[in-house]
Structure 1
């Protein structure tokens, strides 16, 4: 028996900002799962900034998406047929074949998740890759210490909002964020417990941050002028966890670097980039701590939800424009 389904393929590689013309919806027929496989009906899929880099034909930490082939990414789905007793029909699982309505996946490549305790979508947000990224960046990369003052850019996104909340629970004395609207700033300060936040569209970000520094830790999701501003406002021996640089993902020309790099010497600063997949050894620790924080109501996530595979590309493009608050998700 076959299952008729649909997937999003990469039709052409974007130059600069992606457009809907770079993508194509394709109908496919999937066979029954073989031994050790499961057939999933996806219920949620994630769109994430890192996916933009995979649309380029360039060497990186993960292979580029192939032209004429389906995109992939984090997803949660229900098992509708199973060739492995360990993953029964009806189970809800986390896996890596998003951008499609159904998928046949090796059973060893899925993780059964508990949807009695938290909604399934949380495993793509605060309890998923974004949450783990925040935890790794703070604890291992920035080596957050009791009393540190923390600055995070992209603070109203899935990673940034988790960074701010976790930093406080891990002992930060102050947490300051940068976001792109007054509404996002209000969410950070009024609901998530940030001590302060700035709307970077209100003026030069360095000037906006001046009243709130100096900082001991900067968690960078943006790059560009935010990185330059953070360098200026870090205290001696400040640490930067470089997670992303969304400000330049769609640039077609080389982006100038920060003009104040000499401060790395005079302030004795440290910058370390990281990829979360290199730190899988922290996954169990993260799940234990973050699961407890979520259960206690101390770690919360907001979701921006778009419905239907037909609008998945719209969700991705809106994410790249900063149209999300919290985690951008597609409900299938």
Structure 2
């Protein structure tokens, strides 16, 4: 039954399959942490990429990710070689930029990439071309951008599945709460800089 669910996170035909290796960037955010847990539920090996030991500890110790890579201190290319010597089957891309170019070089033939965001370029004056084309061609990758509203007619279906997993203890979440409406801007900037863990919320 799970096969039919889009789960509001993976585009059609991009589902992770049991035994595959999945990499998630911005893994400690609301979306990335959710995606990684779904991939674990589906029986995948999951590698989360985020920017602090605190986030890595949460991902591995509490959410059950198999590996964590701190992109601020580690050589991502070498780290992926170490933890995913068999290559990467699915990549959930929240950041774009050089990290994505590095991950794509580790993709297996006919790997799938779900493009959800491009945090690395949100503050750039111009969109910079990423060196993804050669890896995409050489490994015959399937890459797809998506917006969740494409499945608006199945919204409740995904919500109910996620609620079930939460009640079963299979799916966990975390919130970083900022107090006060006057701090909305600060909270937003902190989120873009990766200072939150899980969902960034402003309480007014």
Query: What TM-score, normalized by structure 2, do the two folds share?
Result: 0.91
Deviations 1:75-129 (A, max 9, x none): xxxxxxxxxxxxxxxxxxxxxxxxxxxxxxxxxxxxxxxxxxxxxxxxxxxxxxx
Structure of larger gyration radius:
1
2:26 corresponds to 1:147: no
2:179 corresponds to 1:304: no
Does structure 2 retain, via aligned residues, the 8 Å contact 1:135–1:163? no
Aligned residues: 197
Unpaired runs of 5+ residues, structure 1, are 1-133
Alpha-carbon deviation of 1:180?
A: 0.3
2:39 corresponds to 1:167: yes
- Aligned partners of 1:238 and 1:196: how far apart in 2? 19
Structure 1 stretches of 4+ with a deviation exceeding 6 A read none
Alpha-carbon deviation of 1:189?
A: 0.6
Partner of 2:146: 274
Name the SS of the counterpart of 1:188 in structure 2: helix
Partner of 1:243: 116
Unpaired runs of 5+ residues, structure 2, are 1-5
Q: CA RMSD in A?
A: 1.6
- Aligned partners of 2:8 and 2:77: how far apart in 1? 26
Partner of 2:200: 328
- Aligned partners of 2:127 and 2:118: how far apart in 1? 13
**Structure holding more strand per residue:** 1
Alpha-carbon deviation of 1:206?
A: 1.9
Alpha-carbon deviation of 1:265?
A: 2.1
2:129 corresponds to 1:264: no
Alpha-carbon deviation of 1:139?
A: 5.7
**Structure holding more helix per residue:** 2
- Aligned partners of 1:296 and 1:137: how far apart in 2? 20
